[in-house]
Amino acid sequence: MTADIPLINGTSQCTVATFSKAAYEETVSFYSHFLLLEVQPLGTSSAILTNGHIDVRVTFEENSEKQSAVEARVKALAGVEDSHDWRSEASESLVFKTSDIQQVKSRIIGEKWQHQAYPTDLFPMELYVVDPVGNVIGVTKTKNAVSTMPTAPPLRKGVFTSTAPSKTQSSVDIAKSVATSQHYPSLPEKSQKDQKAIAVMTSGGDAPGMNANVRAIVRTAIFKGCRPYVVMEGYEGLVRGGPEYIRECTWEDVRGWSSEGGTNIGTARCMEFKERAGRLKGAQHLIEAGVDALIVCGGDGSLTGADLFRSEWPSLIKELKETKRISEDDFNRYQHLNICGTVGSIDNDMSTTDSTIGAYSSLDRICRAVDYIEATANSHSRAFVVEVMGRNCGWLALMAGIATSADYIFIPEKPASSREWQDQMCDIVAKHRARGKRTTIVIVAEGAIAADLTPISPKDVHKVLVDRLQLDTRVTTLGHVQRGGTAVAFDRILATLQGVEAVNAVLDSTPDTPSPLIAINENKLVRKPLVDSVRLTKSVADAIQAKDFKKAMALRDSEFVEHLNNFMAINSADHNPPKLPHDKRLKIAIVNVGAPAGGINSAVYSMATYCMSQGHRPYAIYNGWSGLARHESVRSLSWKSMLGWQSRGGSEIGTNRVTPEEADIGMIAYYFQKYKFDGLIIVGGFEAFVSLHQLERAREDYPAFRIPMVLIPATLSNNVPGTEYSLGTDTALNALMDYCDVIKQSAASTRGRAFVVDVQGGNSGFLATNAGLAVGAQVSYVPEEGISLEQLSQDIETLSESFATAGGRGRFGKLILKSHNASKVFTPEVLAEVITAEAKGQFDAKSAIPGHVQQGGLPSPIDRTRGARLAIRAVGFIESHQEAIRKARADDDDFDLDDKDVSATAAVLGIRGSHVVFSSIRQLYDFETELSKRMPKVIHWEGTRAIADHLVGRKKVETNN
């Protein structure tokens, strides 16, 4: 690398201060290696590093307090490598020019330094690292500080410029990772004993998504060069053994499994495995099959058995050797059994994970059933008691209660005495009826109990409603309907990603590491000790049996407790005395901006009812900013006027894409001042993001905007900076997934057809990427990558190989997902025609345009419950930031628009990694947004694309410009 001159004000000298001897030596070493500078010591406490063009002076002064601050800064920057732009976090950064940035990148990778690359890591124009004292140091290949044109690399003597085409193709063929005698993605015909063999089984109650989990494990094992096996019928198959029950699996065997419910490899209860003799048989059969790793998808009982099996393994194989049931060679080869767990349970009762495979699919069945029941209940003004599953966990009942606005719920974690629950339920139901509600929905978990551990049955609830309130009441037990059907998009994606991670976990495992459980915490996959997770899960049931309900609630994750508190607040609305005193009560407005998205109505309903319970007055701005500016469309929300909103799609208060500046920001400020709003919640997409920015910037001229303001992202594109999740994305994913499942069935029936599906999302490939993973699409084209002729040619070739391999078998419908903005030239129709022409009669392609069907009908339970959670968090933000901006509202002279405390009162509420966070709109808009593309700078779903590709055997072509 040639580091020429810094691009900061044209300076060529800088000084770096250090505050410990170790930091001094590390800093000198860093700059000499990073910038290839020559070190010239100036005594023991300073040095000059130079190359003739630039001078970097490093000084040393012992100061433990400053050194601690430096270490904290370095740690903070390292912790946000994937989520924040370092340039926005540091007070300043120093950038050098280079003529060979790829050489710099190679050096960075060789030194294993954390780095950030822009615009992409593959073709960087700028590279940034953090030096040992927390300074952000960068290199660029641009000609000057504001240019986007790279400098020309120097020509070496004797080397002529190439006459080759400007684009060169390099094909990354993942088939090379698989031993195969035919065209990829067909499977190996013969087993190789030196390969690791990984078996997967499903055990316990079946759950939607188990098939997607098995598919991911099988194909990832093949991709990693391992031999995959499936154990049929759970632990029963392990005990019986033999090729009938422990089968080597092939790539084609699991084709199409993502869209199928239940578990295709079977599950059964096995009492024999609970005895040591049964586990001894299981060990023998695994060794006979050559299996040395086992992944179990099941509930806490199944995972307990798996961990016990691993802990006993040394004694089991020792006994097998002593009884001559295995050979000495087998004993030496299979000294250790690696175990990994993925949780498949509709109850969502496993501690340490936010969600289990199948839980949200079951919740979806419940919510659909209650939505249907609501219609007939409204017709007859009836009460319905709905029993849902959940023996020791009330998660299903609680989440269904929030998603459907149930009047009352019974969960085992929060029981009351027999007299108390009867009085509480009747009081709430009577108040709801008195205010004009025609329906009553009571949801009962099957494990519901009173404080004395007496079971509460639906019949008990029915009797109370009839005897005390004289309501026409019916009981509905959903039963195994909750387990049936295909998995929702979230469970398919969760099961797939956990399956991939489970294979990685067993390959990383050593004899000394505890068996891992693949969990998810706030959208982030993590590995937890399996035995600890099972122990915590069982301790909840033990606490309930010991009547220690406070401990049982404490053992649930914080989100469960938050949801319960939210449900109670929403349910009380304005029926009880407000919680806050008069001087703390506020006027809070809510507005929808952008396209409709699932969950918007849930957010509005939850915000309004929570405000009522606190004593605040909620206002709705109807028809967006244009409705306010033109027609003064502001209404105070009442509880009765919002009945049923929680489960409705679209936007009940109206929405459009007009921003405040387009509508008339002066009139908007006038109405804000007229109604004396104390806070604002905006629910919407990128236009809502721009709206918040405009309002925050207008605070200097309009004091009416000097109030706490929060944006709740809601768009199927998921393109709002500051969050990895937006309301509406889950509803859109499910709508698109259902559409794709239907046309894939049509394609499979035709035996030689592929469908090109047009996917919405603007410049964001989030929807196409995740839908492709959920439905097993052969290809997804996204705006971030575009469509190159080389890649298209390779994809058509792979499709041809797949159809040739199919041989007319079923489940061979192919899907190609194309984001609308992935290419202006290749429309779905043109793409289908090109593929059909290139297929030369082997197969054909048709286009399919789902259009606005992708916005979905009824919102999914995830969007409903997250809408409620985020709306209540937003109200809490407005409450807690009143004091920070109160003075600014009254004093024009002292108002400072750039004051950090003031700018922090306008924020985007989002989910980032494992946290729900409020991010300043100023920070996001200025540093983390690609305004021209209406996109965040960091694309958080890029890693998902590689997984989606390798699970369908797609060969990726890299095109170097």
Amino acid type, 347: D
The residue assigned the tokens 């929300």 is 637
Residues ≥6 apart with Cβ < 8 Å to 654: 592, 622, 623, 624, 627, 633
Please give the share of the chain, as a percent, with pLDDT higher than 90.
59
- Name the pLDDT band for 896 (thresholds 50, 70, 90): confident
The residue assigned the tokens 């915490």 is 521
**Of the candidate ranges 393-407, 466-480, 572-586, 763-777, the one whose mean pLDDT is the lowest:** 572-586
- Do residues 442 and 408 make contact, with C-beta atoms less than 8 angstroms apart? yes
The annotation status of 300 as a binding-site residue, yes or no, is yes
Question: Helix, strand, or coil here: 862?
Answer: helix
226 pLDDT above the threshold of 90: yes
79 pLDDT above the threshold of 90: no
CATH of domain 197-355+488-537: 3.40.50.450
Q: 391 φ, ψ to 5°? A: -75, -55
Please report the pLDDT score of residue 809 as a whole number: 62
Residue 482: DSSP 8-state: G
The annotation status of 394 as a binding-site residue, yes or no, is no
* % helix, strand, coil for the chain, step of 5: 45, 20, 35
Question: Helix, strand, or coil here: 361?
Answer: helix
Helices (H) and strands (E) counted in the chain, each on its own, are: 31, 34
Return the CATH superfamily for domain 732-854+944-960: Phosphofructokinase domain (3.40.50.460)
* The domains spanning 574-727+859-888+903-930 and 732-854+944-960 adopt the same CATH topology: yes
Q: What pLDDT, in 10s, does the model give residues 638-659?
A: 999 999 999 999 999 999 999 9
The annotation status of 125 as a binding-site residue, yes or no, is no
The annotation status of 237 as a binding-site residue, yes or no, is no
The annotation status of 483 as a binding-site residue, yes or no, is yes
Please report the pLDDT score of residue 123 as a whole number: 64
Average pLDDT over residues 920-926: 94
Q: What is the CA radius of gyration of the chain?
A: 30
- Name the pLDDT band for 42 (thresholds 50, 70, 90): confident
pTM of the complete model? 0.81
Please report the pLDDT score of residue 680 as a whole number: 97
893 pLDDT above the threshold of 70: no
- Do residues 924 and 749 make contact, with C-beta atoms less than 8 angstroms apart? no
- Name the pLDDT band for 153 (thresholds 50, 70, 90): very low
574-727+859-888+903-930 maps to CATH 3.40.50.620: no
What secondary structure does DSSP assign to 821-852, as a single string?
Answer: TS-SSS-HHHHHHHHHHHHTTS-EEEEE--GG
The annotation status of 831 as a binding-site residue, yes or no, is no
Average pLDDT over residues 124-140: 87
Average pLDDT over residues 468-489: 93
Question: Helix, strand, or coil here: 270?
Answer: coil
The annotation status of 389 as a binding-site residue, yes or no, is yes
The annotation status of 853 as a binding-site residue, yes or no, is yes
- Do residues 782 and 942 make contact, with C-beta atoms less than 8 angstroms apart? no
HSE at residue 939, side-chain half, CA atoms within 13 A, is 25
Q: What are the structural domain ranges in the chain? A: 13-140, 197-355+488-537, 362-482, 574-727+859-888+903-930, 732-854+944-960
Q: What pLDDT, in 10s, does the model give residues 167-223?
A: 333 333 333 333 333 333 433 333 444 578 999 999 989 999 999 999 999 999 999
Q: What pLDDT, in 10s, does the model give residues 359-410?
A: 999 999 999 999 999 999 999 999 999 999 988 899 999 999 999 999 999 9
Q: Which residues are catalytic?
A: 347
The annotation status of 256 as a binding-site residue, yes or no, is no
Please report the pLDDT score of residue 143 as a whole number: 56
* Token code pair at residue 418: 């027999």
Distance of CA 863 to the CA centre of its chain: 13
**Of the candidate ranges 82-96, 308-322, 521-535, the one whose mean pLDDT is the lowest:** 82-96
The annotation status of 302 as a binding-site residue, yes or no, is yes
819 pLDDT above the threshold of 60: yes
Exposed/middle/buried for residue 167 (C-beta within 10 Å: 0-12, 13-18, 19+): exposed
The residue ranking higher by pLDDT, 887 or 600, is 600
The residue assigned the tokens 């407000």 is 578
Q: What's the N-to-C CA distance of the chain in angstroms?
A: 21
The annotation status of 855 as a binding-site residue, yes or no, is yes
Crossing angle between the packed helical segments 489-508 and 210-223, to the nearest 10 degrees: 40
Give the C-alpha distances (Å, rounded to integers) separating 632 from 431, 657, 710: 33, 18, 21
13-140 maps to CATH 3.40.190.10: no
The annotation status of 345 as a binding-site residue, yes or no, is yes
- Mean pLDDT rounded to a whole number for the chain: 87
Among residues 90, 100, 168, 160, which one has the least CA distance to residue 129?
A: 90
164 pLDDT above the threshold of 50: no
Among residues 224, 175, 209, 263, which one has the least CA distance to residue 805?
A: 175
The annotation status of 751 as a binding-site residue, yes or no, is no
**Of the candidate ranges 5-19, 441-455, 484-498, 666-680, the one whose mean pLDDT is the lowest:** 5-19
The annotation status of 432 as a binding-site residue, yes or no, is no
The annotation status of 760 as a binding-site residue, yes or no, is yes
Q: Which CATH architecture has domain 362-482?
A: 3-Layer(aba) Sandwich (3.40)
